[in-house]
Amino acid sequence: MAYAYDDQNIFAKILRGEIPNNTVIETTHTLAFHDIQPQAPVHVLVIPKGPYVTYDHFAAEASDEEIVDFTRTLAKVCKMQRVEADNADGYRLISNAGAHGVQDVPHLHVHVLGGRRMGRMVEPA
Ligand code: AMP
């Protein structure tokens, strides 16, 4: 089954400039911005500009250039937010996908969370 991308999702609207965002960094293929409801002192969302629904969709179908740009931008975000694991105290990356992942916005985003010690990785079943 092909991934169906809904271009009315809120991050598509942010990418089209229809609603504002608090940008951390923007590159050719990637945008990083502060989460509107932060769950930690650092809570940045990193999204590709292309129409990808989930991480596996992006990993399977994005171009090498998009994947490299996304990955390098994520590294820059960690440094800019001073959470990189070599000099600072680290962070957690989360990318929710689909129903079991409890994904709210159907445009790939990686949450970069830091600035405090995180709790359990997942709730017990
Ligand atoms: P998820 O549940 O993984 O799909 O996460 C969606 C995230 O998007 C949540 O953490 C929301 O707080 C965040 N979010 C929703 N709308 C906006 C917005 N307009 N600007 C920034 N973050 C948003």
Ligand 1 in reach of 21 Cβ (< 6 A): yes
pLDDT tens for residues 23-46? 999 999 999 999 999 999 999 999
Which residues are identified as catalytic?
A: 109
This prediction has a pTM of 0.97
d(CA 20, CA 30): 16
**From the alpha carbon of 104, which atom of ligand 1 is closest?**
4
| Cβ-Cβ contacts under 8 Å for 36 (sequence gap 6 or more) | none
Find the 94 Cα to ligand 1 centroid distance in Å: 12
Residue 101's alpha-carbon distances to 93, 98, 113, in angstroms, are: 14, 5, 17
Ligand 1 in reach of 104 Cβ (< 6 A): yes
Ligand 1 in reach of 105 Cβ (< 6 A): yes
Q: What would be the CATH architecture of the domain defined by 10-114?
A: 2-Layer Sandwich (3.30)
Ligand 1 in reach of 9 Cβ (< 6 A): no
pLDDT of residue 21: 98
Q: What is the torsional sign of CA 118, 69, 73, 98? A: negative
pLDDT at 1 over 60: no
pLDDT at 121 over 60: yes
Find the 35 Cα to ligand 1 centroid distance in Å: 6
Residue-range domain boundaries for the chain:
10-114
pLDDT tens for residues 76-85? 999 999 999 8
pLDDT at 2 over 80: no
pLDDT of residue 101: 96
Percent of the chain clearing pLDDT 90 (strictly above)? 90
pLDDT at 73 over 60: yes
